[in-house]
Amino acid sequence: MTTDDRTPAEIAGRIAELREAIAYHNRRYYQLDDPEISDAEYDRLLAELIRLEEAYPHLKTPDSPSQRVGAAPLEKFSPFTHLTPMLSLANAFSEEEIREFDDRLRRLVAVEGPITYVAEPKLDGLAVNLLYEGGVLTAAATRGDGTVGEEITQNVRTVPSVPLRLKDADAASRKPPDRVEVRGEIIMELAAFKGLNQRRLRDGEPPFANPRNAAAGSLRQLDPRITARRPLTFFAYAVGFCAPDTFATHWEVLSRLSAWGFSVHPLAERVEGIEGCVAYYRRVMERRAELEHEIDGVVLKVDRLDLQEALGAVSRSPRWAVACKFPASQETTVIEDIRIQVGRTGTLTPVAVMRPVRVGGVTVSRASLHNQDEIDRKDIRIGDTVIVQRAGDVIPEVVKVVTARRTGAERPFRMPDHCPECGSTVVRLPGEAAHRCINLTCPAQVKERILHFASRGGMDIEGLGDKLVSQLVDKGLVKDLADLYRLTHPQLASLERMADKSAANLLAALEASRRRPFEKFIYALGIRHVGETTARALAAAFPSLEALAAAKEEELTALRDIGPEVAGSIVGFFSEPANLRTLAALKDAGVEPLYTAPSPDRGAGSLAGRSFVFTGTLASMTRSEARRAVTERGGTWSETVTKNTDYVVAGEAPGSKLKKAKDLGIPVLTEEDFLALVK
C-alpha cells in the first residue's frame, strides 16, 4: 500500500492508531513486563509510524511514542542551564538533629504553634530537571553543578513514567502552565536492578554495584536505545520555574504534579509539627526493606511556600528543607584476610575478615565470599578496599572492590588443596561451585553436623552449643552423632565451663531427644538441600526411615517441591556407608524417630512437583483457569521463568518469557501439549 492512496484524514487517523497501539505495547513491555506482541511486530508498528511522520512532518508531535525510542546516538551531552538552580539539601543524621532543624526555623521566622511539613522518602537515584513548554516535554537535564547540567532529553523520553505531555485534567480543569520545570528522581526498582544484573552477568558484562549506579549509568548513555531497554522509573517531588501558575503550599505542588500525570511517592505525607516528622522518620525507616526501591532517608520540607521564601537559602541548600539520612547500608572497609570455614557437608566457604565497620547501624567484620568463582568474578584480593552492604538488611555482603584504592600489595586468593581443619584432600566436583573436604570424619564437619543435629529445628538438644561441641570433638569424646548418647556424667562435668548441674541438664536434654518426630529427625540428619520444609514433605510421604532410605530418585522427584538435585542428594546420603553406620549406631543408642500416621490426602497429583510459567494467550481457557488446572493437580505456577521452571506453556503471541525459556533450555509446551497433560 502506498501512502499516496489515502486521504489526509485517513493518514492522520492511522498515525493516531499507531501511536495508541505503540503506547499500549510500551506499557506492556516496559511497565508490566508482559508483552503481547513480538519485538519484530513492535518494530514494524514503530517503523510505520516513523515513516508516516517523516513523510508528513506537520503531523509529527513531540509527544509521539516515536520520540521515546530510536533516536540516534549523541557525540556527547550538551550543557543545559536550568531556569532556576537545582539546590541540594542539608543533612540531619539523628533525631536530635531533626529537632534542631525545627528549632533553627523557629528562630528565623515567627510561627505560632507547630510548623506544617511535607515529609517524603529520599529516593536514591539521579536527580533530573524536566522542562515542559506549552505542556510538552522539551528538555531534560541532570542536576550537574546545580546551575548547569547535562542535557539528556532523548534518554529521559524513554522512561515510561515520564509524561511526554502534561495532562490538563486536574480538578480545576486548568491548562498546563506555559513553562514549568518538574524536578524529581529517576530510579531503578530493586527487582528490575536484579534482573538487569543477571542479564549482564549472563552476557559477560560487569554488573552494576547498586540501583543508583545502574540508573545513573543508564541515563548517561549516548545511545538512547540502550536507555530505552533499561527499566527506569521517575518520581516527581518539586517544581522549579513555573509560570504563570502559582502555588500556596508544597502539598499543593505535589497534588498538581500528580494531576499532570507524574508519579508522586505514595509515602509522601503532610505532617503537623516536628515530633510528627520524627515519628514519620522512624516509621519509614522500619518499612524501608519492604519498598520496591532504595531510599536513603526522608526529606522534610516546610509546607507553606511563603514561609519557604522568607527562610531562603544558605549557599546551595534551602533553609526550609532537610534530608534526614538513615544509617548507611553500604560502607567501605578493608579485607584483612580470607579464611576458610568448613561446613557440615564438607563445603569450604571462604569468609572475608574485614576491618570492622558500621553498616546500617550494625558492626560488620565478616562476610561470606561464597566460593572461588564468586571471588574471581568480583576479583577480590586480600588487602583490597571493598564496598560492603547488608543485603535485605541482614546478611553482610561484599559488593565490589574499589580498584582505585589498590596499591599493588593485594594478594589474590586461592582455595587450598587440603582441608585447613583435617588436612584431607579438597575436591571440586564437576558442575559444582563449591570445594569440598572429602573426609567425613573431618572434625570441622563433625562439629557442624552435631550442631545442626542438636539445633531447634532438629533434635532440639538444649545446652549443646558451639563451645561445648568443640571440646567434645577435640577431646575425642564424640566422633559421630551416636556418641552423644554414650556421654557420661563424669565426662561432661570434667569439661571447661561445665559443672555438676549443667552436666546433669545436658544428659536430661539428650535423653529427651531420643524420640523426636520423624520430620525433625530427617532434618537433623543434615542431608544437603533438605531443609525443614523438605523434611516435612518427606516425613509425610514415607511411612518410615527404612522406606525413605530405600526411595528411588523417581519416587522422590514425584513429590511436590523436590527436584532432581534434592532427590539426588537424598539418595546419595542413604547410599553412603558411613551414613548408614551412623543411622544404625543411633538406633542402637535408642534414638528412633516418632512416626505420626500419614494423612490420607497425601496422594500427590499428576503434576506434583512441576512448576509452570504461562506466556501469551491461550485459546481454550483463561490464564487463571490454566493456573488453577496446575495447582489442582499438585503443581505450581509462577510469573517468571527461572532455571527451576519445568515447563513454559506458550499460547498465541508469547512474550519475552518464551525467549528466556529457550535461553535456559526449558521445555516449551503448546496449548495442546498442556491440555494433554491436564486431561
When the beta carbons of 302 and 352 are compared against ligand IVH, the nearer one is: 302
Size of the chain in residues? 679
What is the spatial distance between Cα 497 and Cα 425, in angstroms, rounded to a whole number?
A: 35
When the beta carbons of 122 and 288 are compared against ligand IVH, the nearer one is: 122
Integer-rounded Cα radius of gyration of the chain: 31
For ligand IVH, the binding residues in 30-89 under the rule CB under 6 A are 87-89
Among 12, 191, 291, 323, binds ligand IVH (CB under 6 A): 323
CB of 184 to ligand IVH, least distance (A): 8
Q: Spell out the residues 6+ positions from residue 559 whose beta carbon is closer than 8 angstroms to its own.
A: 537, 538, 541, 604, 608, 609
Asked whether the beta carbons of 176 and 239 are under 8 A apart, the reply is no
Strand, coil or helix: what is 443?
A: helix
Among 143, 378, 390, 400, binds ligand IVH (CB under 6 A): 143
For ligand IVH, the binding residues in 223-262 under the rule CB under 6 A are 237-238
Buried-state track 449-474, b at ≥16 Cβ within 10 A, e below 16? bbbbbbbeebbbbebbeeebbbbbbe
What is the spatial distance between Cα 653 and Cα 617, in angstroms, rounded to a whole number?
A: 7
Query: Which residue in the list 60, 76, 122, 175 is annotated as catalytic?
Result: 122
List, in sequence order, every beta strand (DSSP E) within 273-422: 295-302, 313-314, 317-318, 321-325, 330-342, 347-359, 362-368, 381-382, 385-391, 395-401, 411-412
For 370, counting Cβ atoms within 10 Å of its Cβ (0-12 exposed, 13-18 middle, 19+ buried), the class is middle
Q: Tell me the window of 116-124, 512-520, 529-537, 567-575 that interacts with ligand IVH (CB under 6 A).
A: 116-124
CB of 192 to ligand IVH, least distance (A): 18
Half-sphere exposure of 111 (CA within 13 A, CB side): 23
Q: Tell me the window of 41-49, 316-324, 377-385, 539-547 that interacts with ligand IVH (CB under 6 A).
A: 316-324
CB of 297 to ligand IVH, least distance (A): 8
Cis preceding-peptide flag for 244 (omega within 30 of 0): yes
Q: Tell me the window of 117-125, 465-473, 522-530, 627-635 that interacts with ligand IVH (CB under 6 A).
A: 117-125
**DSSP H/E element including 478:** none
When the beta carbons of 88 and 557 are compared against ligand IVH, the nearer one is: 88
When the beta carbons of 89 and 556 are compared against ligand IVH, the nearer one is: 89
Assign residue 535 a region: left if phi > 0, alpha if psi is -120 to 50, beta otherwise? alpha
When the beta carbons of 217 and 568 are compared against ligand IVH, the nearer one is: 217
475 in catalytic set: no
Single-letter amino acid, residue 412: P
Q: Tell me the window of 169-177, 318-326, 374-382, 448-456 that interacts with ligand IVH (CB under 6 A).
A: 318-326
Asked whether the beta carbons of 179 and 191 are under 8 A apart, the reply is no
Position 471 contacts ligand IVH (CB under 6 A): no
What is the size of the binding site for ligand IVH (CB under 6 A)? 15
Among 36, 181, 185, 303, binds ligand IVH (CB under 6 A): 185
When the beta carbons of 128 and 527 are compared against ligand IVH, the nearer one is: 128
When the beta carbons of 318 and 350 are compared against ligand IVH, the nearer one is: 318
Planar angle of CA 508, 524, 591, nearest 5 degrees: 50
Other beta carbons less than 10 A from residue 109's beta carbon:
15
CB of 193 to ligand IVH, least distance (A): 17
CB of 321 to ligand IVH, least distance (A): 5
When the beta carbons of 105 and 338 are compared against ligand IVH, the nearer one is: 105
Nearest Cα residue to 191 out of 395, 33, 29: 33
Among 123, 254, 401, 567, binds ligand IVH (CB under 6 A): 123
What is the spatial distance between Cα 137 and Cα 139, in angstroms, rounded to a whole number?
A: 6
Strand, coil or helix: what is 13?
A: helix
Among 69, 115, 127, 259, binds ligand IVH (CB under 6 A): 127
Q: Tell me the window of 118-126, 485-493, 511-519, 587-595 that interacts with ligand IVH (CB under 6 A).
A: 118-126
In the shown chain, the binding pattern of residues 200 to 219 toward ligand IVH, with x for contact by CB under 6 A and - for none, equals --------------------
When the beta carbons of 235 and 453 are compared against ligand IVH, the nearer one is: 235
Position 299 contacts ligand IVH (CB under 6 A): yes
Q: Which residue's beta carbon is nearest to the bound ligand IVH?
A: 127
Among 35, 176, 318, 651, binds ligand IVH (CB under 6 A): 318
What is the spatial distance between Cα 324 and Cα 282, in angstroms, rounded to a whole number?
A: 10
When the beta carbons of 314 and 597 are compared against ligand IVH, the nearer one is: 314
DSSP H helices in 272-378: 273-287, 305-311, 372-378
Among 122, 319, 344, 452, binds ligand IVH (CB under 6 A): 122
Among 53, 120, 294, 410, binds ligand IVH (CB under 6 A): 120
> CA end-to-end span of the chain, whole Å?
47
CB of 388 to ligand IVH, least distance (A): 23
Residues that are catalytic = 122
- Which residues make up the interface to ligand IVH (CB under 6 A)? 87-89, 120, 122-123, 127, 143, 185, 237-238, 299, 318, 321, 323
